[in-house]
Structure 1
Amino acid sequence: MRITQLRNATIIVHVGRYNILVDPMLARKDALPPLRLFVRRRLRNPTVELPANAASALDTVTHCLITHCQKGHFDHLDRAAKHWLRERQIPVICTPHDLAHLSARGLHVLPLAADHAQPQAFLGGQIRTVRCTHGLGLVGTVMEHGVGYFIEMPGEPSLYLSGDTVLTDEVRQFVRRHQPQVCVVPAGGAHFDLGGDIIMGTDEVIELTRIASGRVLANHLEALSHCPVQRAQLRSAAQRAGVAGRLSIPQDGETIAFEPWKAVA
């Protein structure tokens, strides 16, 4: 298995003959509105362009997987991505919750079964969902919480795509129980003008990396105006915590390979 980090939460998972695009935000730099208003500089989004190799990487895509996309979450499916998916009629896999929303936009949607929390067939392997908590308290009441995905493919490392979530007891328990060989988690510490973090930040990513016995890939970094965590900051924290060897923090455009392994009892 290989994972190409494009930008923010947008990755391509290369597994066997499939190349799965996850949560595409394909807009040009500054094409989308600010996410914080009561600040000195209202930065538009995304704050960086796609990497130079994005077009060639996207040309390989066979499927798309969406964790959440409603209530204005353009950072996981923006207008440019909808156009790109519609033009190529890429199969878009989602939960039943997002079926009508995506179908109404002319996308070629392949929804998971109604009981999508149970394992079900997925590209020759299986997939199940894990609940996301996209912020707590008042901010949590207005967010689209979405899902994470746990994917198991024959001969490949098990993969947990956490989606946009803070580190809840449910996430902790899932990782302890299933011990995914690869976890992809958001690390930007995103927050709006009011309320707490709506995704993991430095401390929670370090805690999850300690809980997990496999490797962790941190993204959702340095691409949106409401994500303050920097790669260098997270890398330094991982080194101090002694987990830098298991925490990957890819640059945009970078591809990382993951081999299957067996944990030592």
Structure 2
Amino acid sequence: MRIQQIRNATIILELGPHRVLVDPMLARKDALPPLRLFSARQRNPLVELPHAAEQALAAVTHCLITHCQKGHFDHLDNAGKRWLRERQIPVICTPHDASYLAQRGINVQPLPHDHAAPSPFLGGRIRTLRCTHGAGVIGRLMEHGVGYLIELPGEPSLYLAGDTVLTPALRDFVLQHQPQVSVVPAGGARFDLGGEVIMGVDDVLGFTRLCRGTVVANHLEAISHCPVTREGLTRAAAEAGILQRLRIPEDGQVLDLGRC
């Protein structure tokens, strides 16, 4: 398994012969609106795609979407929709998102409605876990989406967290399944009101302590409402004594996570 960090939540998974693009936000720097109204009114994304993105995208065979409605352009923007539509890449998603994507001319392959049971996926299996994309009033306004647990022959088990905070249900899920590799959102995103709507430093450290495998942190330094930096997270993980299991890739970097 190899994971290439593209930008924000956008990654490419190399799983045997398959190249799976996750949550494509492909816009140019500053092409998208701010995500805060009263502070940090920077346009998004904050950085351009890395130079390696064009070559990496050319090899993509499938796409996986965690959530994409209610204005979540940081997981699927208009540039990403156009890219998928032009290439008719098979897009795996939840039934909830299937009609939204199909109406935009995208080649959707929705998973079954049953969240509890795994579904076939690229010669192995995939299952979903509902995300909690913030709590309270803000949480009620959010599109919560899902995370995915992917288990393929010869590859480490992989949990893609989607946009979520660390909840008791997620704790139980990790303790039960103990994924060998996990990718978690680490930017500590928050709006002008309310608390974090994805994991921040404390949640990432807590998640990493729960599992025995490798944790990959993304959703960093690309969107204006995510204050956590790679440097700050690295420092906190070193102080907590867990840096050896937490990977914090730069945009464009490829992580080789081996095979089973």
Specify the TM-score bucket, using the shorter chain as the normaliser: over 0.9
2:129 corresponds in structure 1 to 130
1:103-136 deviation per Cα after TM superposition (whole angstroms, max 9, x unaligned): 0000000000121431110010000001100000
1:107 equivalent to 2:106? Answer: yes
Contact 1:31 1:45 in 2 (8 A): yes
Residue 93 of structure 1 and its aligned partner are, at CA, apart by: 0.4
Identity %: 67
Counterpart residue type for residue 255 of structure 2: I
Task: Say what the alpha-carbon RMSD is for the aligned residues.
Answer: 0.7
Distance 1:89 1:49 in 2: 24
Alignment of 1:221-232 (within 5 A): 221-232=220-231
1:22 corresponds in structure 2 to 22
TM-score normalised to structure 2 length:
0.99
Distance 2:137 2:256 in 1: 39
Q: Which runs of 5+ in 2 are unaligned?
A: none
2:4 corresponds in structure 1 to 4
2:173 corresponds in structure 1 to 174
1:251 corresponds in structure 2 to 250
Distance 1:246 1:53 in 2: 25
Distance 1:81 1:172 in 2: 32
Counterpart residue type for residue 192 of structure 2: D
Q: Which runs of 5+ in 1 are unaligned?
A: none
1:81 equivalent to 2:89? Answer: no
Residue 260 of structure 1 and its aligned partner are, at CA, apart by: 4.0
Distance 1:81 1:52 in 2: 17
Contact 2:115 2:129 in 1 (8 A): no
Divergent runs of 4+, >3 A: none
Number of equivalent positions = 260
1:71-130 deviation per Cα after TM superposition (whole angstroms, max 9, x unaligned): 000000000000000001100000000011000000000000121431110010000001
Range with bigger deviation, 108-117 or 73-82:
108-117
